[in-house]
A = this chain, B = another copy of it.
Amino acid sequence: MSALPKPQETTPVLTPAELTRRRETSSFWFRMLRDDICDAFEQLEEEAAAIGLYNGKPGRFKRTHWQREEGGGGEMSLMRGLAFEKVGVNISGVWGTFSEQFRREMPGGEKMPCFFATGISLVAHMANPHVPAVHMNTRFIATGDRPVVAERNSVFQEPPGEPSYKSWFGGGADLTPVFENKEIESQFHGAFRATCGRHTPGDYDKYKKWCDEYFFIKHRGEARGAGGIFYDYLVSEDWEADFAFTQDVGKTFLEIYPELVRQTMQTPWSEEDRQAQRLKRARYVEFNLLYDRGTRFGLMTGGNPEAILMSMPPEAVWP
């Protein structure tokens, strides 16, 4: 992991300069983490190619840049490989003004209608049904009573007086095995429990429960997977501490998930196992399109459908 820019002291008032520093520091981190994750996953592809179970050449990520009309854009990294049947790793940094309707729906949206959001979002669907699918996302959000990033052709009327901004982190990671695997699940949970334990803002019990509640498929009365952690609106007194925790969530993912892939990707599978995987993936589709806030919000507000739907599994069945 390369070195980060040295953080300045946290200021009690969120000045435009401090906001700029937070924006740039977090964006830079998400990009570095993306590079490290893609490298680690490509390394796993090399290891899969050496196992007799997988046929073909190791996968490599393809990167696509996209821009957003209102402001910002992102990079999608997509790999179709041997162990990774389909994996998408997105980073983005977008800004603008909430629509009139969305302002009314968002708590505080009327007073703070301008936003900036940057983050990394990743979903991996694995070829081997014994290797759990995984999702990881961390993000930094800022809102303000005037543009967080200057917009071209903005029609926004800036209010008089001092600018008012707030910012927070959100994120998490969760595992979706096709077949229950207590050993693997326990290692995943243990890694994030340890990470939460190392940080003042890390409340493992709260974030684990939040994850279980969020990734629940209500109409089926079942969990999407085996859970993990989920947190949002993280804004303690100490921005550096919140950021360090968010970085550590990403680093923990980068350490534990490749390890779990190594432990499971050598297990042979049958066509029955693949069919069980397709059924599980159909539940994943149901969750993402019916309930996932990021997916629905992105698609409903003119986001890039290719980037947003990169999380969809390669195959699903409703027999």
Contacts and interface: CB of A to CB of B under 8 A. Distances in A.
A289 B286 CA distance: 7
A80 B317 CA distance: 14
A314 B317 contact: yes
Interface string A288-310: 01100000100110110100110
Contacts of A285: 285, 289, 316
Contacts of A317: 314-316
A171 interface: no
A303 B318 CA distance: 18
A260 interface: no
A-side binding surface: helix, strand, loop or mixed?
A: helix
Interface in A42-101: 80, 86
A220 interface: yes
A144 interface: no
Contact of A316 (B302, B305, B308, B315): B315
Interface of A: 80, 86, 218-220, 278, 282, 285-286, 289-290, 296, 299-300, 302-303, 305, 308-309, 312-319
30 contacts: A80-B319, A86-B319, A218-B299, A218-B300, A219-B299, A219-B303, A219-B305, A219-B308, A220-B305, A278-B315, A282-B312, A285-B285, A285-B316, A286-B309, A289-B289, A289-B290, A290-B290, A290-B296, A309-B318, A312-B318, A313-B318, A314-B317, A314-B318, A314-B319, A315-B315, A315-B316, A315-B317, A316-B316, A316-B317, A316-B318
